Structure 1
Amino acid sequence: MNSLVVQRARFGDLLQSLPLIRALSVAGGSVTLLVSEDMMEAARLVHPAGDVFGFPGKGHLLDLASGSPMKAAGTIARFLENVRTVSFDRLFQLNHDGTGALLGKLLPAGEKRGFFSLHDRIIPGEEKGKKLSGWPAYLVASARGVRAVNRIHLSDVWIGFGFSGSTRERENCPRAPAPGSGPVGLVLSGRSVYRELVLEDVARLVDRIQRLTGRPVVLLGRPDEREKARVLTRLISGPVVNRVGETSLGQLWAEVASLSLLISPDTATLHLSASLNVPSIGLFFSNAQPHETGAYLPGCLAVTPDLDCHPCAGEGSGCTQMECRSLMEPDYLALLAERFLTGSALPEAPAGLRVWRSRKEAGFLSYRPTHAGAATREDVLGVLFRRFFLRVLDPEVLLPSLEEECRPFFGRGWPSSLPADHLVQGASLSSRQWGDHPLDPLEKRRILEEIPLLWPLFLLTEEVEGGQGKREIQRQAFALLSEETIAARSLLLDRGKSPARRKKERERAYSAKETRTGREAGYGV
Structure 2
Amino acid sequence: MSVDILFLNLTRFGDLLQSQALLEDCRRAGLRTGLVCLDNFAAALPLLRSLAEAWPLPGAEFLRRLDGKGPGRSWHDAPALLLNFVGRLRQEAAPRHVVNLTATLPARLLASLLAPSPEAVTGFALDREGFGLCRGNWAAYLCGTTLKRCNAPFNMQDMFRMAARPAVRALGTAGTDTIPSPGGRLLPPSETANAQAATLLAAAPEGCRGFVGLQLGASHPARQWPQSAFAQVGDGLWQAARLCPVLLGAPAEKALARAYARQARGPFLDAVGATTLPVLAALVARLRLLVTNDTGTMHLAAGLGIPSLAIFLATAQAWDTGPYLEGCCCLEPALPCHPCGFKQACSRDGGCAGHISPRTVLRLALGWLESGRWDAGLDQEIRQEARVWLTTREAAGGFADLRCLSGHEHEDRSLWLRLQRRFWQKLLDEMDGVSAASDVPALSSDILSAVKASGLARAQLPVLREAAHFLAALPDQCRLAAAGHPRMGQLLLRACDHIQRLLESRDELASLGYFWHEARQAQGGDLQALGGLAGTLARHLAELDRLLAS
TM-score by length of 2: 0.77
**8 Å Cα contact 2:125/2:132 also seen in 1:** no
Q: How far apart are the structure 2 equivalents of 1:129 and 1:45?
A: 32
State the match for 2:82 in structure 1: 76
Aligned: 1:139 with 2:142 = yes
Q: How far off is 1:304 after superposition?
A: 0.2
In structure 1, what is the Cα distance between the partners aligned to 2:138 and 2:246? 39
Compared CA separation, residues 335 and 446, structure 1 to 2 (3 A): closer
Quickly say closer, same or farther: Cα 1:355–1:449, change in 2 above 3 A. Answer: closer
Aligned to 2:307: 279
Following superposition, the deviation at residue 200 of structure 1 comes to: 2.3
Aligned counterpart for 2:288 among listed residues 229, 243, 260: 260
Separation in 2 of the partners of 1:23 and 1:64?
Answer: 37
Q: Aligned AA for 1:484?
A: L
Which amino acid is the alignment partner of residue 428 of structure 1?
A: R
Match of 1:493 in 2: none
5+ residue gaps, structure 1, are 118-122, 487-505, 507-525
Query: Counterparts in 2 of 1:6-405, with a 5 A limit?
Result: 6-46=8-48, 50-57=52-59, 60-63=62-65, 66=68, 67-85=73-91, 86-109=93-116, 111-117=120-126, 125-126=128-129, 133-144=136-147, 146-163=148-165, 167=176, 170-174=179-183, 182-313=210-341, 316-318=344-346, 321-341=349-369, 342-344=371-373, 345-346=375-376, 347-348=378-379, 349-361=382-394, 362-373=397-408, 375-395=410-430, 396=434, 397=437, 398-403=439-444
Q: Give the secondary structure class of the aligned counterpart of 1:434.
A: helix
Q: In structure 1, what is the equivalent of residue 487 of structure 2?
A: none
Contact 2:235–2:267 at 8 Å: present in 1 too?
no
User: In 2, are the aligned partners of 1:2 and 1:90 still within 8 Å (CA)?
Assistant: yes
- Report if aligned partners of 1:141, 1:459 keep a CA contact under 8 Å in 2: yes
Cα distance, 1:246 vs. partner?
1.8
Structure 2 counterpart of 1:289, which letter? Q
Asked if the contact 2:62/2:81 (under 8 Å) is kept, the reply is no
Q: What is the TM-score when the length of structure 1 is the normalising length?
A: 0.81
Q: C-alpha offsets along residues 370-429 of structure 1, whole Å, 9 cap, x if unaligned?
A: 24346222122212222222222222432111116x54x96699444x261x43343334
Match of 2:463 in 1: 426
Q: How many angstroms apart in 1 are the aligned matches of 2:41 and 2:24?
A: 19
Aligned CA distance change for structure 1 residues 142 and 442 (closer, same or farther; 3 Å): closer
Question: Residues 182 and 260 of structure 1 are in contact (CA less than 8 Å); yes or no, is this contact kept in structure 2?
Answer: yes
Alpha-carbon distance in structure 2 between the residues aligned to 1:94 and 1:175: 17
Which letter maps to 1:9? Answer: T
Distance (Å, rounded) in 2 between the aligned partners of 1:162 and 1:445: 26
Identity in percent: 26
- Taking the aligned partners of 2:393 and 2:539, their CA distance within structure 1 comes to 26
Give the aligned partner of residue 515 of structure 2: 460
Amino acid at match of 1:155: Q
What is the letter of the counterpart of residue 324 of structure 1? C
User: Quick one: distance in 1 between partners of 2:496 and 2:269?
Assistant: 61
Change (3 A) 1:481 1:246: same
Distance (Å, rounded) in 2 between the aligned partners of 1:205 and 1:287: 23
Amino acid in structure 1 at the alignment position of 2:495:
D
Distance in 2, matches of 1:48 and 1:228, equals: 36
Instruction: Write the letter of the residue equivalent to 2:142.
Output: L
Q: Which amino acid aligns with 2:428?
A: L
Please provide the CA RMSD for this pair.
Answer: 3.1
Deviation per CA, 1:418-463: give whole Å up to 9, x if none: 261x433433343333232568157537855987754442232136
Which residue type is aligned with residue 261 of structure 2? T
In 2, Cα distance between equivalents of 1:424 and 1:249 = 49
User: Retained in 2: the 8 A contact 1:289–1:304?
Assistant: yes
Unmatched runs of 5 consecutive residues or more in structure 2: 170-174, 186-208, 479-491, 524-529
1:207 to 1:340, Cα distance in 2 relative to 1, 3 A: same
